[in-house]
Structures are given as C-alpha cells and as structure tokens.
A and B are shown apart, each in its own frame.
Chain A
C-alpha cells in the first residue's frame, strides 16, 4: 500500500516538472526557428535546369553518379548531366566557384543538410576559362604551354616602363 502511494507521488512529481518545463520553455523560446536556411542563388547562366528543380533537389547525386561512370569508363562525355556543366551554370558571381565560400551553390545546401561533398577533392569548383572553351583550338593548343610559361615569367623593368609610357 505504501509503495503504491509512493509511486503515485513520484508520477505526480514527474507530471508537474514536465508541465513546468514546458511552460518555461514556451516563454523563453516562443518559436524555434532551427538552423539558418540555405542560400540558393539562381544560376547565373540559363533559365531552367536540365531536369525539373524538384527532381534535381532530391536526385542530383544519382544523376551525377550515373553520368560519372559512363564518362570515366566508357568515355561518353555528354554535356547534359555533366558536373562540369553544373559548375558552368551555378558558379557564384562573386567567388566564381560552387564551393569556395559558405554561401556558394553546392556548399550552402550541403552544410545545411550536413552531407559532406567529396566531388571537390578532385574536381575543380570553377568553370573553365573562356579561352579554353573552344573545342578545337588546334592553332593555339600548340603554344598553350609556352603561353602559360610566358604568363608565369617575370616582366622586365624595361617592359614595365614601356607599358607605363
């Protein structure tokens, strides 16, 4: 009998404490807003994604993985589902990248969802420079490495003076 009363009292105490906590909580935090929502910037180029937006939000990883295997193993490099084309459209105007700062297209959602992206351990996060975009730049391709070497070379004082004049 005594144990029954004890159990009832304990139950009562628990109910009261919970109610008190809930009341206090309701006062302190009227509405929990959660983590800050991801910033989704509209693609710089293009009006519409290659697939409907809702589909891409849920399935972009499947689309990319499928294309990845075909591209690497079979050499089928179609543009439609290629990561390179995603980056070409979605690179941020300020950083020029999809993953350089926390508000950039890929990083923004992935940090909100707490899903790590491995893509950019290997893939460039920036679109290709416009000069290299031409598919058959055979004439300049011969000299590309020399041009790059020149770009790295230090400019002499005479040349600088010439430019200044």
Chain B
C-alpha cells in the first residue's frame, strides 16, 4: 500500500507541525461558529448532501478491563437500535441474527477471566468484501464495512470468510417489524454497521457505546481514528491495544485493551 502513496514519505518529518495545523483549524472553525454545541457538530457531523469521506476512519476501542461480567447492555442496546430480536427471545436461537455478542473467556492456566463484546471489526482489508461475488459486501469511504442488501444474494460466502464470526443471515421473514432507519430482510447477510444511521445523522457515536457509558462502565470508546485530537486517538496513543487475529494483517477498526 505504502508505495502507492508517495506523499506519505513527507509526512513523518513533521508530525508536530501537522498536529499544530489541525488544532489551529479546529479552533478557527469553533470560533467562527461560537458555542459548544456547534463544536460538537464540527467534530462529528457532515452535511447530509455530502458523501462519507475517507478523511474519517470510524473505529472503536474496547477496554476489556472495564467490561463487566454478566452485563450485556451493549448487546440489548444494539438490538433495540437496529431492531434484531435478541437471541434468547428468538424462536430459532441457533440461526438467529446477532450483530454483537458478549464473550467470556478464561485462561485455562491461570483461570483469569476476560469479558469482551465481539462484533464486526470493520477491517481496512475486509475478507468479506474480497469474497463477495456480487459486490454487495463493501467498505464505505469512512471505513465502515456494510452489506448492500439490494445486491446481496444471501450466498453466505462472507460469513465463511469472516475470521470473527461477525455476520448472520436473516433466515425468516421479518413481517414488517423493521425499524424505519434500519432496513433488513430475509435472505440477506447482515452485521454490525457501527450504527451507520446514527453516524450519518451526526450523532458521532453508536448505541452500544451510549449504553456502556450510561451504565457507567465506560469500556467502549467510539470515534474518528484519523483525527489525532479525538478521544479514541488519544486513548489509543496511551493504552497498549491489540487487534484480534493481528496475524491476518487486516488493520481492524476495533481495538481491544486488556486481552
């Protein structure tokens, strides 16, 4: 990849300068518009007629040391926001769609337990996109990996290709129970969308992160990984984080601390 971008050779010389320029422009924008509410919009929102831009890369940091045992607020919040039936309530739990799930892991030697949510990792090089025969599985400019249900034929190659078991097929008719913001239907593959409807609305966060923060755990941080001043970038600079199956070299959008 790097040889395709000759410009990147110049960048490492002056990271300090670049950071200063970014901070200066952000301040200028904030001053021009005035109060704090608008600063929030400058940071996250984009006009609705403007396409998602590759200047942004949405990502999430999961702090497994703060993720509480037995808590599944992120999972229920996702299910409520996106309208999928919780697995426990499904008539066919084994084939029920699941966008995010809680994992409880135990080290067999030390018995140390780790809790973490697992969902689509929003890879920069997504295997699901590589294998899709119709181009339905795609990565949006801002790094969100999505399924275009208009072209998905339900072949499930992407489910096989995903190393994280993040995708599900909708097996049964949903009988008009969908949310108006989240169309989903029988015969299509689906997975975590980073709450793309909320992102495009300018919320700048996801349902699971909101729920985790509301519950006081603060184990999830969401934001723009390309913006050095964002909360997530600051935390990623400070904390040692891992990518799950880093050996696959997929450059994940979800990073874990404490695993």
Contact = CB atoms under 8 A, between A and B. Distances in A.
Do A and B pair up? The answer is yes
A83 B196 CA distance: 17
B180 A124 contact: yes
Interface stretch (A12-20, A22-30, A50-58, A68-76): A68-76
B81 A121 contact: no
A75 B142 contact: yes
B77 A79 contact: no
* Size band of the interface chain B makes with A: 35 or more
Interface in B173-204: 173, 176, 178-181, 183-186, 188, 196, 199-203
Can you list the 8 inter-chain pairs with the closest CB atoms, starting with the nearest? Answer: A122-B185, A75-B52, A74-B51, A142-B214, A145-B80, A145-B77, A122-B183, A128-B180
B210 interface: yes
Interface stretch (B95-103, B117-125, B144-152, B248-256): B144-152
B77 A76 contact: no
Contacts of B207: 141, 144-145
B48 interface: yes
Interface residues of A, number: 35
A73 B148 contact: yes
A78 B51 CA distance: 10
A136 B202 contact: yes
Contacts of A75: 51-52, 140-142, 196, 199-200
Nearest to A142: B214
A128 B52 contact: no
A36 interface: no
Interface of A: 68-70, 72-79, 84, 87, 97, 100, 120-128, 135-136, 138, 141-146, 148-149
A139 to B, nearest CB: 10
Contacts of A126: 176, 180
Q: Which of B186, B188, B202, B214 has the most CB of A within 10 A?
A: B214
Contact of B211 (A79, A123, A145): A145
Given A135-B201, A145-B76, A124 B51 contact: no
A90 to B, nearest CB: 13
A135 B50 CA distance: 17
B140 A76 contact: no
